[in-house]
Chains A and B, each alone.
Chain A
Amino acid sequence: MIRFENVGLRYGTGPEVLRDISFTLPPGSFHFMTGASGAGKSSLLKLMYLALRPSRGLVTLFGKDMARVKRTDLPALRRQIGVVFQDFALLDHLSALDNVALPLRMGGARESDVVEHCTEILRWVGLGNHLNSLPSTLSGGQQQRVAIARAVINRPRLLLADEPTGNVDDGIGMRLLYLFEELHKLGTTVVIASHNEALIRRFEHPRLMLENGRLHVLPAHASRWA
């Protein structure tokens, strides 16, 4: 699904924020990504969801070498990736339903299907009463659930989440992680960047641990004690 080989990333002429990153995520895997603030979690996720290109090294996604992929082929690849952004990245002028509908509409789905599926998923994340609400009228936790619903509406092959439980209490955080587990069971490859050790320790999943720009892959059993 994802393969990084000796990947390095620097912004402009600054120092490398990611160094010699090498790992492989098989299809259908579930990984947590941990690391202190500034360790490079968001940068690594950006490389995965094709917002950035590496300064060096090889990134392979869905079996394709990203250095050789044409710009015109990127949208189709990106539509197979669901992303929960750290700041939610909801469009303020669109309702919850329209925000969630974006990936479907971009993919050319029929409008009747769009409304039906978005209504269903928003009810599933507990926002059935907020279909027409603008993000500015929702709480942080509700906005996060809209962002998650948008990330998963397209049944992505790869789901990347940057601190998805950062703005919710542990109860809702657990519920969201179980939602990701459900998607994982359906075959989606999941990577979740999180600080929340307490929540992470409740799940038996391997961990990608970033430390000073370098990555250590910890297997599931070791992950519990990391």
Chain B
Amino acid sequence: MALPPLTRRNSDLPLAKDPTSRFLMWLTALMVYLAALALAGALLVSDMTRRWDSGLAGGLTVQIMPLPDSAHAAPLEERTEAALTVLRSTPGIATASVLSSGDVGRLLEPWLGKEAADPLLPMPRLIDVMTNGPVDTAALSARLTSAAPGATLDDHAVWLADLRRFAGAMHLAALGIVALIGGAGVMAVIFAVRSGLAIHRHVVELLHLMGATDRYVARQFESHVIGLTLRGGMTGLLLAAGTLGGIGHAAAGLHASLLPDLTTSPWWAVAALAAVPLAACLLAALTARWTVLRTLESMP
């Protein structure tokens, strides 16, 4: 009795049996893993910078330090009131409010831990200032120091500039890492495809003689490479997700609010990470097509 005809289509080239197949899949997994970690690092730095930037821009902080008795200065509370008076009389300043000792404790928590709320610690007074116009910070600083000894004015500009520079460097580094990984991936695909063409040269020649176009042959390699890189890419992404989850868990255990929260990443950051294997897959497919077409040009 005749068997029903085949309905499933096999590739004309037996590429799945090539030894390069497994190598390319695991190489893609490793590359996607590294690229996803680099991208996640860049995204976290970017998110951290954005949050700090938006939190600090348009604001000033006045810090009034406790002074030793030998300094013969007015008590801390009096100096704080004097600083508030100076601030509220300065044009361009919208609000000036003293942070509670609880708020100060929370700010210092990344460095001092939960003990930052200890009332016995000599904590400075912090005044959070919001501006609604240009402020001459140099003149204001001089007036504050005069009215309230031990007071210092921080306009965050220097710190924010450093932070932005750091974030930019991190972005460049991540971009460089991803570019290097992409370059290595392209070379791996070129090697794998050229090996495949060399191994199956007689089949490719036969297909040509039967009327196959170079594009037809290239599609066989593309499909093969897409399958491998997609599987490898998803494996790499899962490994990266596990690693990031582990780091996030460890960071949460530190109770350090300075570190970014990995569990509350915005949707676009998650989408960007999920796109890494797809990008790898697309790059591999284009590389495979280009390599096959270039190589076949030399065939009759």
Contact = CB atoms under 8 A, between A and B. Distances in A.
A106 B212 contact: yes
B10 A131 contact: no
Interface string A127-162: 011011000000000000000001000000000000
Interface string A151-178: 0000000000000000000000000000
Nearest to A94: B10
A75 B213 contact: yes
B211 A107 contact: yes
Contacts of A79: 210-211
A215 B208 CA distance: 28
B216 to A, nearest CB: 6
A102 B6 contact: no
Contacts of A111: 9
Contacts of B1: 129
A145 to B, nearest CB: 15
A128 B216 contact: no
Contact of B210 (A92, A95, A102, A119): A102
Interface in A1-27: none
A103 B216 CA distance: 12
Contacts of A118: 5
Given A53-B300, A106-B212, A106-B216, A97 B207 contact: no
Given A53-B300, A129-B2, A131-B5, A78 B10 contact: no
B211 A131 contact: no
A89 B202 CA distance: 9
Contact of A75 (B9, B17, B212): B212
Contacts of A97: 5-6
Contacts of B207: 102, 106
A50 interface: yes
Nearest to A79: B211
A103 B12 CA distance: 11
B208 A75 contact: yes
Contact of A106 (B3, B4, B5, B211): B211
A131 B210 contact: no
Contact of A115 (B5, B10, B209, B212): B5
Contact of A119 (B5, B203, B209): B5
A183 interface: no
Contacts of A107: 211
B2 A102 contact: no
Interface of B: 1-7, 9-10, 12, 14, 17, 203, 205-213, 216, 297, 300
Given A78-B211, A93-B10, A131-B2, 6 more contacts: A80-B211, A91-B14, A94-B12, A106-B216, A115-B7, A150-B210
20 contacts: A50-B209, A51-B300, A71-B300, A72-B213, A75-B211, A76-B211, A78-B210, A92-B14, A93-B10, A94-B10, A95-B6, A97-B5, A97-B6, A98-B6, A102-B207, A105-B12, A106-B207, A106-B213, A119-B5, A132-B6
